[in-house]
Amino acid sequence: MSGTGNANVEDLPRARRAVKAREQAFNCTMSRTPQTGLNVRQTTLQPPSRAGAATASNGRLTTATPPAATNMTGAEERLMVTVRIRPLSDPGEPTCLQAQPNRSRSLLFDDGTRNKPKKYNYDCVFGEASTQEEVYGIAVAPLVQDVLNGYNAAVFAYGATGSGKTHTMLGPHVRPARTNPGTAATLTATPPTANNGANDTPDVPGSSPGPSVVQSSSGLMIRAVADIFDYIDQHSDGGENFKISLSYLEIYNELIRDLLNPGGPLELREDHRGNQSVAGLSEISTASRAEVIQLLLKGNKARTVEPTAANQTSSRSHALLSITVQNLTLAGTKQGRLFMTDLAGSERARKTKNRGKRLQEGAHINRSLLALGNCINALAGGARYVNFRDSKLTRLLKEALSGRCKTVMIAHVAPETRHRDETKNTLVYADRANHITTRLQEPTILEVEAAAAATRDAFPMAHYQNLVAELREEVSRLKMKMMTERPRSGAALQRQQQQLQEQESPTEEQVKKAELKFLREQIVQTFKQQMKLRRRLLEADSHLLGLELDAERQHMVISHWQSRQGKLYDRLEEEDEEGSDSEGSSALRSAWSELGSIEKEVKRYRQIRTTTEHELEECRKKGVALEDELPERISSDEERELLSLLCRVHELEADKVSLQAERMARQAELRRRDLQLLRAERQRRLCEDIISTQRRIIEEGKVEMPEDLRELYALYQQEIHASTYNSGMQTAAGGGFPRDALYEAKLPPIFGHERGIYSASSSSGSEWSAPSPLPPVDSEGNTVNPDRAMGPLVGPRLPSINRLRTSYGSAQSSASSDD
C-alpha cells in the first residue's frame, strides 16, 4: 500500500536536527526583526523555510522576480503551524488563554488542572486582535509565491466548531446563511459586528490587493486568488503565459460533492502510484479575476451549512479549493497548485445538542478529523506506515501532509473557558503537527503537449456536466407544468356539469356509486398511509444501518488511536474520565462520548421502528376490512376494471418499496464487508509487524528458535509461496489483476533484512527481491537447517519468546478442545 510519509524511522534523527537548525534560524530571523505590533504594512515575520521566498508587505506579494526555487527542492521542510485565537464573543467572559503579544510564537493555556498555565510553541500565534491581512501575509502569501514557482502548497484551517475557520478562509462578508435542511445555503452580506471583522484594518484606498475584490475582512481564499492575478498582471508582458483553473469540492458525510457544479456524489480514485483524483470533478479555467471570485462565491453558496447549538452557520462539510497555475514557457509548462481547505469543526454531541441527521453529520466530521489526527500523530512520530485510508479527507490531504507540498496549518481556538476542552484538543493537535517534517519535490514541469491535452480533456467533462444539469432542470420544469397547467378538455367539462345536475336529485344507483366512490377513496387513503409508514420504516432501517456502521467505524478509529498510545482498546477508565492530562485523552473522551450518543440514537430509532411497525399493522388491518366490503358494492364491469387497476398500482408501489429495501440491504452488506476487510487488513499488518519484530529479536539476540515457532514460520513461508504462486497463475491465465494489484495482494517477507543470506526469490520463486532470513528451502525442496541461516545459537533465551510459545500452545490446546 502506498502512502508512507517522508519522515521515516531512519530519517528521524536527521529530521530532528533539521528542525533544530530551522528553529535556530527562525530565532535569528526573529531577533533581527523588530516586533511591529499591529502595523500590518510591516509584516516581516517569516518562517525560516520561506525566508526569501516572498516578501509579504501589506498582505500582498511584492516580489518582482520569483526567487530561485533550487534551494528549496529536496530540503527538509517543517510543516508550518500557526494558531489563530478568535476574539471573545462576549468581552466579559472568562478565558482559558492568556493574552500574549499578537504574532508571538507561543501562548499560555490554562487547562484548569494545573497551578500554572501550560506554554505551547508554534510558528506564529495570531492573537484576538489579528487581522485577515496579517494572517494572509504571514501564512499564505509565501505559499502563493511558491505556487507561482511551480510548487504545490496547501493551507488548511483546523479547529473546533465556531472557532473561526470559515471566517479566516472566507471572511465574514461571504458567510453562508442558515438554511433549512435539504435546501442550498445562500450567501448574505454580514454587516461587521464586534465579532466579525471589527479587528480588521479599515479599507485604505490602494492598499487592497487587486481592484475592488479584496476588502479588509476578505478571507484567505479571495486574497490568494487576487494575489495570483496581481502577479500575472505584472508578468504577462514579459513573455510568460499563465493559465489558471480551479476546482472546489466538499466532503459531506463521507461523500464528495462538486461545489462548482453541484450534483450527485463523485468517486475518489487512486492510481497505482497512490495519487488521488476525483472522477468528474469540474476544473474550470478562467482568465478573469472577477470570474474566479464569482466561482468561489458560487461554490460557497452550494456548501452545506446548518445551524447547530454551537454555531448558527456551522459548516457541516470539509471544503477543499484547488487553484492550479500553469506557466507556459518554451521549456515546458511549470505547474503549481494551491490547496486551501476549510475543515468542518470538530464538535461534541452533548454541546451541539445535535440529533438525527445533525448527529450523523457530526459523527462523520469527527471521525474524519480523528483519522486526520491519527495521520498527524503517525507523521509526527516518524512512523513508517501512515494510514491515510481511513477517510476521504485524509486521502485527499495525503499529498499536503506527506511531503509533496509546502503546507501551513492554521489551527483555530476559541478563548472562552467553556471551550477549554476543544481548545486543548486543537492545541495538542497543532503541537503534534509542529513536528512533521517533509521533503519537497521538484517543481512540476509538464510537457507543453501534455498540458494542451489536459486542457482539451478537461473541457468536455465540464461541458457535459453542465448539459446534463440543464436537461434535468428542463425535465422537472416540464413535469411541474403537466401537473399544474393541464387544460380541461371539453368532454371533462361536460361530465362535471352532468355530475352537478345529478347531485341535486340522486337515484338509488347514484347513491350506491357515491358510496363506492367514498369506499374507494378510503382504500386509497389507507394505502397511501401504508406506503408512508413503509417508507418511514425503510428510512428508519437505513438510518439504523448507517448508525451501526458509523459506530463500527468509530470503534475502529478509536482503537487505532488508542493503540498508537499504547493503550488497550477499552472505554476510558474512571480516572481517565475527568481531568486526565494525557495527550489526546480529551479527544478520546469526546470520541467515546460520541459513540455513546450514536448508541443512544440507535435506541431511539429502534423505538421509532417498533412504533411504526405497530401503526403499519393497524393500517393494514383497516385496509383489509375496507377491501372486504368491496365485492358487494361493485355493480359494473367498469368499476371492477377501475379497482383492479388501482390494485395493480398498489402492487407496483409495494414492489418498488421492497426492491428499494433489498437494494439498501445489499449496499449495507457491501459496506459492512468493506469494513471487515479494512479491519482484517489492519490486523494482518499488525501481525506482520509482530512477526518481523520477534524474528529480529531472535536473530539479533541469537536466541535459539523454538521448534514449534520454527514450524509456524515454515507455514507462514508456505503461505507466501502459495499466494505468490496463485497470483502468478492468475496473471498467466490473462484474467488476473494488474501488476500493481498483484504486488499488493502478496504477503511480504517476514523480515526485510539487509544481511539476510537467503533470498525469498531464490528459495521460493517469489518475486520479493528483499532477502529473507526464513528457513531456506534447498534445491530438492527440503528445509535447510535454519540455525545455519541464523548464526550460532548463543545468548540468553528471551522470556517473551517462551511466553509466546506457551500462549501459542495453550491457544492450540483450547482450539483443539473447541473442535
Ligand X SMILES: Nc1ncnc2c1ncn2[C@@H]1O[C@H](COP(=O)(O)OP(=O)(O)OP(=O)(O)O)[C@@H](O)[C@H]1O
> Residues at the annotated binding site?
159-166
Can you tell me the distance from the alpha carbon of 156 to that of 81, in angstroms, rounded to the nearest whole number? 10
Can you tell me the distance from the alpha carbon of 44 to that of 55, in angstroms, rounded to the nearest whole number? 7
Can you tell me the distance from the alpha carbon of 280 to that of 263, in angstroms, rounded to the nearest whole number? 11
CA-based angle 726:727:731, to the nearest 5? Answer: 115
Residues that constitute the known binding site for ATP? 159-166
What are 569's three cell numbers? 482498546
CA distances from 122 to 417, 482, 790 (A): 21, 63, 48
Distance of CA 550 to the CA centre of its chain: 14
Q: What number of CA atoms fall less than 13 Å from residue 365's CA on the CB side?
A: 30
Give the other-Cβ count within 10 Å of 685's Cβ: 14
Can you tell me the distance from the alpha carbon of 257 to that of 194, in angstroms, rounded to the nearest whole number? 34
Q: Name which of 345 and 756 has its Cβ closer to ligand X.
A: 345
> Among residues 339, 10, 385, which one has the least CA distance to residue 146?
339
Residue listed under C-alpha cell 527542492: 73
Question: Least distance to ligand X from the beta carbon of 358, Å?
Answer: 11
Q: Which residue is nearest to ligand X (CB)?
A: 345
Question: Least distance to ligand X from the beta carbon of 95, Å?
Answer: 15
Please give the radius of gyration of the chain, using alpha carbons only, rounded to the nearest integer.
33
Q: Name which of 142 and 162 has its Cβ closer to ligand X.
A: 162
Query: In a 10 Å sphere around its CB, with 0-12 CB exposed, 13-18 middle and 19+ buried, how is residue 327 labelled?
Result: buried
Do residues 425 and 346 make contact, with C-beta atoms less than 8 angstroms apart? yes
Question: Least distance to ligand X from the beta carbon of 87, Å?
Answer: 5
Question: Least distance to ligand X from the beta carbon of 307, Å?
Answer: 10
Q: Name which of 3 and 362 has its Cβ closer to ligand X.
A: 362
Residue listed under C-alpha cell 511531503: 403
Q: Name which of 317 and 437 has its Cβ closer to ligand X.
A: 317
Question: Least distance to ligand X from the beta carbon of 40, Å?
Answer: 14
Question: Least distance to ligand X from the beta carbon of 348, Å?
Answer: 12
Give the other-Cβ count within 10 Å of 626's Cβ: 17
Q: Name which of 312 and 807 has its Cβ closer to ligand X.
A: 312
Crossing angle (nearest 10°) for helices 508-564 and 356-380: 20
What are 546's three cell numbers? 448507517
Question: Least distance to ligand X from the beta carbon of 37, Å?
Answer: 18
> Among residues 159, 405, 399, which one has the least CA distance to residue 386?
399
**197 DSSP 8-state letter:** T
- Residues in contact with 567: Cβ distance below 8 Å, sequence separation at least 6, in sequence order: none
Question: Least distance to ligand X from the beta carbon of 56, Å?
Answer: 18
Beta bridge mates, 752:
none
Do residues 773 and 714 make contact, with C-beta atoms less than 8 angstroms apart? no
> Among residues 573, 569, 549, 550, which one has the least CA distance to residue 561?
569
Question: Least distance to ligand X from the beta carbon of 470, Å?
Answer: 32
Sequence-ordered strand ranges (E) for 127-227: 152-159
Give the other-Cβ count within 10 Å of 14's Cβ: 12
Do residues 97 and 412 make contact, with C-beta atoms less than 8 angstroms apart? no
Do residues 354 and 169 make contact, with C-beta atoms less than 8 angstroms apart? no
> Among residues 247, 242, 215, which one has the least CA distance to residue 229?
242
Give the other-Cβ count within 10 Å of 377's Cβ: 23
Question: Least distance to ligand X from the beta carbon of 131, Å?
Answer: 8
Residues lying near ligand X in the complex (CB under 6 A): 86-87, 159, 161-167, 172, 195-197, 199, 311, 313-315, 344-345, 412
CA distances from 445 to 114, 184, 286, 335, 449 (A): 53, 39, 21, 6, 12
Q: Name which of 151 and 252 has its Cβ closer to ligand X.
A: 252
- For 246, phi and psi rounded to 5 degrees? -145, 155
Q: Name which of 169 and 720 has its Cβ closer to ligand X.
A: 169
Question: Least distance to ligand X from the beta carbon of 242, Å?
Answer: 31
Q: Name which of 37 and 579 has its Cβ closer to ligand X.
A: 37
Q: Name which of 123 and 200 has its Cβ closer to ligand X.
A: 200
Q: Name which of 344 and 595 has its Cβ closer to ligand X.
A: 344
Question: Least distance to ligand X from the beta carbon of 342, Å?
Answer: 7
Is the C-alpha dihedral spanning 743, 745, 749, 752 positive or negative?
positive
Q: Name which of 161 and 585 has its Cβ closer to ligand X.
A: 161
Percent of the chain as helix, strand, coil, to the nearest 5: 55, 15, 35
Q: Name which of 391 and 766 has its Cβ closer to ligand X.
A: 391
Do residues 207 and 58 make contact, with C-beta atoms less than 8 angstroms apart? yes
Q: Name which of 313 and 434 has its Cβ closer to ligand X.
A: 313
Question: Least distance to ligand X from the beta carbon of 86, Å?
Answer: 4
Q: Name which of 161 and 282 has its Cβ closer to ligand X.
A: 161
Give the other-Cβ count within 10 Å of 222's Cβ: 26
